[in-house]
Structure formats: structure tokens, C-alpha cells
């Protein structure tokens, strides 16, 4: 459905690869509905996006705004949070105002990644409708919206710190999750409290939204009993549209912050089907530390199986002495890889993953079995669903080299059963029924948006 002649929609992702990628995929989907998408990224991200990826040729415009960050200094969750709150709002406001005055159609909507919730207030000041975007599972979103309830019943204190140990359930109907899965429990106590404050602010802002687009699918197996085109929360929060997985809109082409080493595809062609372990911890995961890198390296070597490991030069400081020479025939280490093409390759038999949501959905789309090594944030929730709900992976029982070796062994022993379940899940999510559901959800959002503003 088209509202007017190619109105603009401004999309504001959180400035990390795992957030820009699904936002670009959403932009492609909205393009097919008659919108001209403009994706706003800070300067240090804009410089990294390769011109050969999604961009002008696809009808998507990437625009840069100053962040105030020095790329030569460490950039992390907290420095980005400061830049988003202090430096970037005024520049986004100028861009929205300029685009909205454009004679070509103006701005129909600003779509804001909830992890970049600062932009909601900017859209409100500009008088432009704002929709939220949740790049992960709804189960994780419901953790955020349940914060007041968790405080009221004493599961966490006002700083977000769990008041009970163990596997206690804290969400209605979510016996799968416990206080150990809370996404802000990363780092030391001060870090956890700061992250909790971040999510409290997000929670406060999202209540002003009318719509929320979620890059997810019905996560259980009872979805045939409900209409998932839109969901109204029991609380007075946004109307939720499950429009994912959005990977279907971009194929193998995504905006990349780093150059992909495509030599790994030639290397894979020389391996036996189902024999290779693929190892990647994504793009936005705090380093697991040199000691754990060392254990992971030794565990992969001990499997005596071929492996491809995506590991940046910074992480390689943790590799054992002489490791690259020892595994030269067994393994291939690359700084960045065309992940979806690797997962589609018949040689990949096991994916050792941090359980990031984009990686999880790509694995489902490619029908691969997973060895789960969650590190932070929503990865623990994703891991629970991978292992306990969908049955397409196993979780490592520790972070020593023997745990790696044993984890790979367990996946390979159960690979036929897990791959069968993975293919069933792939059909449910990416088959005709799943694709029709996601398309209908997006169409329902566009229709509601048009009714609201026109």
C-alpha cells in the first residue's frame, strides 16, 4: 500500500553492525511499499560502510551525523550512549526538519531502534510520527517492559540487581527464563547498574510509541492459534508487528563495516560435506578475554576437525604460541567473513556461535545446528530458545578447552536429529506460510501508518 508519491521514512539504528544490518533490511522492505528510506548513522559508522553493499543502487540513502567520538579512542557501549544522548540529537533534528520540508514528499515516519531511543524524543519535537524497531526476540523485549513488575514483586531491586538466586521464573508464562537471563547483567556491579539505567530510560520513552516493528517471528509452536499480524500488549504500549525475519529482503547482501575475506569460500569447497566447524562471535561482543580465546583455540584444535574461525587481529593475542603454524592444515582464521554464504555451504556441519539474534536467524534460514556460547545481553535468552524450545543446538557447559571439544562432539552426535528440527523450523519461519505472515504484518503496519497520518 502506498500513502502518497514516495514519502520518506527516516530510520535510526543503534550504531553497531548487528543493528544497522536489520535496519537496512527493513529499509528494503519499506522501499517495496513505496517509501524512500533514509538511514541515519554516526560519522564513524558512515565511513566504514562499503559502497559496494546496500546503498544508492537499492534506493536507500545513508546519511551521516556527527557523533563527537574519536575513532582513535576506545568506543564502547557507554561512550556511544553518551554520544547518542549528548551529541547526536541536534544533528538528527536538523536532518528531519530539512527532509520534512522537501517538496518531494516529506517524512512520513521516523523508525527508531529502541536501543537508540534518544531519537524518539527528536521525532516528537519535529512533529513526525515515530515507530519503534526491536531487532531481537519479543521475549527479550518483554523483559524490558516487565521491569516495573519485577521490581514490584521483589525479583530485582531499583538498580536492576536480582534479589533471588537460581532459576526462578519472572515472566508470566515464561518458565523458560530466570533472573540470570536479564540483558543488563553484564560486567561488574557498576556496569550492570548503568546498563539498567539505560533500559529504564528506554522503557520510559517507548511508552510514547504507537507502533513497534519486531524483527522476529512467533517464537513458540502454538502460533497457529493466534493472529500475529499485530499484537496489543496487556499494558498501554505500542502495537507490535512481527515483521521478521528481515534477512529475506537482502539475500546475501548486507552493509558491512569490514572487508569480507572471501577466500574462506574456496577453502570450504575443498572440505567434506558437514565436516567443518564455523566459529564466529559476531561484531559487537566485548572480547571474551585472552584466557578464553586460548581455551577456545585449544578446544578447536583438539576436535581434529576442520574449522573456520572469524577472529579479529586484536583477539589473536590470546592464541597459544605457534598455534597458527600447528593448525595451518586443520583450520582457517579470517578477520571477517561473508557469514550467510558460509552457513549456506554444505561443508558447514556445526556453528559455534555467541547466539546473537542476526546470527541465530541466519543459522535457522540455512538449516544449521548450533553450539551455543552466549556472552552477554539477549544472547542468553536466544540460547534458551535454541536449546530448549527449538532443539536445534546444545549449550557449552563451560569455557575450557575440553568443554569446546565435548560441545562439538555432542552436536556432531546429534546432528541428524537437530538438522531435521532445524529444517522444520526453517520451513515454518522462512517457508510460504512464514513469509506470508511477515509480509502481512508489514502491510498491516503500513496501512495503520497511512490511516494515522493521511
- Residue 275 cell numbers, joined: 565436516
Q: Within 13 A of 200's CA, how many CA atoms are on the CB side?
A: 15
Of 362, 380, 424, nearest to 221 by C-alpha is 424
Of the chain, the percentage scoring pLDDT greater than 70 comes to 88
The CA distance from 431 to 239, in Å, is: 25
Q: Tens of pLDDT along 377-413?
A: 899 999 999 999 999 999 999 999 999 999 999 999 9
What's the length of the chain? 454
The CA distance from 338 to 53, in Å, is: 12
Helix extents (H) in 87-167: 89-100, 118-126, 138-145, 147-152
The CA distance from 43 to 63, in Å, is: 9
Largest CA distance in the chain: 66
SS3 content of the chain, % helix, strand, coil (to 5): 45, 15, 40
Domain ranges of the chain: 8-253+431-453, 263-430
The CA distance from 65 to 46, in Å, is: 9
| Average pLDDT rounded to a whole number, residues 287-311 | 92
Pairing mode, if any, of strands 393-395 and 370-372?
parallel
Classify domain 8-253+431-453 at the CATH topology level: Rossmann fold (3.40.50)
Angstrom distances, CA of residue 167 to CA of 110, 147, 193, 387: 39, 17, 21, 16
Q: What is the pLDDT of residue 229?
A: 46
Which pTM value belongs to this model?
0.91
* Cα radius of gyration (the chain): 22
Is residue 28 within 8 Å of residue 250, measured between CB atoms? yes
Q: What is the pLDDT of residue 64?
A: 93
Minimum mean pLDDT range among 175-189, 226-240, 277-291 = 226-240
| Average pLDDT rounded to a whole number, residues 58-85 | 88
Q: What is the pLDDT of residue 53?
A: 52
| Average pLDDT rounded to a whole number, residues 31-38 | 93
- Hey, how many other C-beta atoms are within 10 angstroms of the C-beta on 352? 24
Q: Tens of pLDDT along 141-157?
A: 988 998 998 898 888 89
Of 432, 434, 440, 443, nearest to 34 by C-alpha is 443
Q: What is the pLDDT of residue 76?
A: 85
Minimum mean pLDDT range among 233-247, 314-328, 378-392 = 233-247
Q: What is the pLDDT of residue 353?
A: 96
Minimum mean pLDDT range among 101-105, 190-194, 323-327 = 101-105
pLDDT at 35 over 60: yes
Q: What is the pLDDT of residue 285?
A: 55
Q: Tens of pLDDT along 82-99?
A: 999 999 999 999 999 999
- Is the fold of 8-253+431-453 the same as that of 263-430? yes
Q: What is the pLDDT of residue 2?
A: 42
Q: What is the pLDDT of residue 236?
A: 58
pLDDT category of residue 223 using cuts at 50, 70 and 90: very low
Q: Tens of pLDDT along 343-386?
A: 999 999 999 999 999 999 999 999 999 999 998 889 999 999 99
Of residues 152 and 3, more confidence is placed in 152
pLDDT at 104 over 70: no
- Residue 393 cell numbers, joined: 543446538
Degrees to nearest 5, angle at CA 174 with 165 and 26: 115
pLDDT category of residue 50 using cuts at 50, 70 and 90: low
| Average pLDDT rounded to a whole number, residues 132-139 | 94
pLDDT at 51 over 50: no
pLDDT category of residue 247 using cuts at 50, 70 and 90: confident
Q: What is the pLDDT of residue 227?
A: 40
Classify domain 263-430 at the CATH topology level: Rossmann fold (3.40.50)
Average pLDDT over the chain reads 87
Q: What is the pLDDT of residue 237?
A: 65
Q: What is the pLDDT of residue 143?
A: 87
Q: What is the pLDDT of residue 63?
A: 94
pLDDT category of residue 258 using cuts at 50, 70 and 90: confident
Amino acid at each position: 500500500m502506498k500513502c502518497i508519491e514516495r514519502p520518506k521514512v527516516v530510520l535510526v539504528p543503534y550504531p553497531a553492525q548487528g543493528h544497522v544490518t536489520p535496519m537496512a533490511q527493513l529499509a528494503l522492505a519499506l522501499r517495496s511499499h513505496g517509501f524512500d528510506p533514509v538511514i541515519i548513522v554516526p560519522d564513524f559508522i558512515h565511513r566504514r560502510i562499503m559502497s559496494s553493499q546496500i546503498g544508492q543502487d537499492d534506493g536507500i540513502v545513508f546519511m551521516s551525523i556527527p557523533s563527537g567520538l574519536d575513532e582513535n579512542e576506545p568506543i564502547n557501549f557507554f561512550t556511544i550512549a553518551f554520544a547518542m544522548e549528548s551529541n547526536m540529537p541536534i544533528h538528527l533534528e536538523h536532518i528531519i526538519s530539512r527532509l520534512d520540508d522537501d517538496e518531494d514528499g516529506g517524512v512520513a515516519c521516523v523508525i527508531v531502534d529502541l536501543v537508540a531511543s534518544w531519537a524518539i524524543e527528536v521525532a516528537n519535537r519535529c512533529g513526525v510520527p515515530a515507530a519503534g524497531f526491536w531487532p531481537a526476540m519479543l521475549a527479550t523485549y518483554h523483559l524490558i517492559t516487565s521491569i516495573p513488575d519485577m521490581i514490584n514483586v521483589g525479583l530485582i531491586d531499583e538498580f536492576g540487581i536480582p534479589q533471588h538466586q537460581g532459576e526462578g521464573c519472572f515472566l508470566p508464562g515464561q518458565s523458560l527464563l530466570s533472573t540470570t537471563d536479564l540483558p543488563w547483567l553484564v560486567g561488574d556491579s557498576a556496569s550492570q547498574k548503568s546498563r539498567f539505567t539505560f533500559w529504564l530510560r528506554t522503557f520510559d520513552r517507548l511508552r510514547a510509541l504507537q507502533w513497534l516493528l519486531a524483527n522476529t517471528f512467533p517464537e513458540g509452536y502454538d502460533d497457529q492459534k493466534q493472529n500475529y499480524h499485530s499484537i496489543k500488549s496487556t499494558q498501554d504500549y505500542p502495537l507490535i508487528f512481527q515483521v521478521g525475519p528481515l534477512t529475506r529482503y537482502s539475500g546475501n547482501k548486507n552493509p558491512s563495516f569490514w572487508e569480507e575475506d572471501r577466500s574462506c569460500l574456496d577453502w570450504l569447497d575443498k572440505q567434506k560435506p558437514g565436516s567443518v566447524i564455523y566459529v564466529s562471535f559476531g561484531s559487537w561482543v566485548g572480547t571474551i578475554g585472552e584466557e578464553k580465546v586460548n581455551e577456545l583455540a585449544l578446544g578447536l584444535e583438539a576436535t581434529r576437525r576442520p574449522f573456520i574461525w572469524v577472529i579479529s587481529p586484536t583477539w589473536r593475542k590470546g592464541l597459544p604460541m605457534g598455534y597458527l603454524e600447528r593448525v595451518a592444515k586443520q583450520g582457517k582464521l579470517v578477520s571477517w567473513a561473508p557469514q550467510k554464504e558460509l552457513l549456506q555451504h554444505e561443508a558447514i556441519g556445526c556453528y559455534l556461535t555467541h547466539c546473537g539474534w542476526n546470527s541465530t536467524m541466519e543459522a535457522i534460514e540455512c538449516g544449521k545446528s548450533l553450539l551455543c556460547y552466549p556472552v552477554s545481553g539477549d544472547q542468553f535468552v536466544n540460547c534458551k530458545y535454541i536449546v530448549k524450545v527449538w532443539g536445534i543446538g546444545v549449550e557449552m557447559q563451560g569455557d575450557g578447552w575440553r568443554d569446546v571439544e565435548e560441545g562439538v562432539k555432542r552436536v556432531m552426535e546429534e546432528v541428524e536429529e537437530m538438522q531435521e528440527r532445524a529444517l522444520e523450523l526453517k520451513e515454518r519461519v522462512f517457508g510460504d506460510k512464514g513469509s506470508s505472515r511477515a509480509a502481512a504484518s508489514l502491510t498491516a503496519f503500513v496501512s495503520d501508518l497511512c490511516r494515522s497520518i493521511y
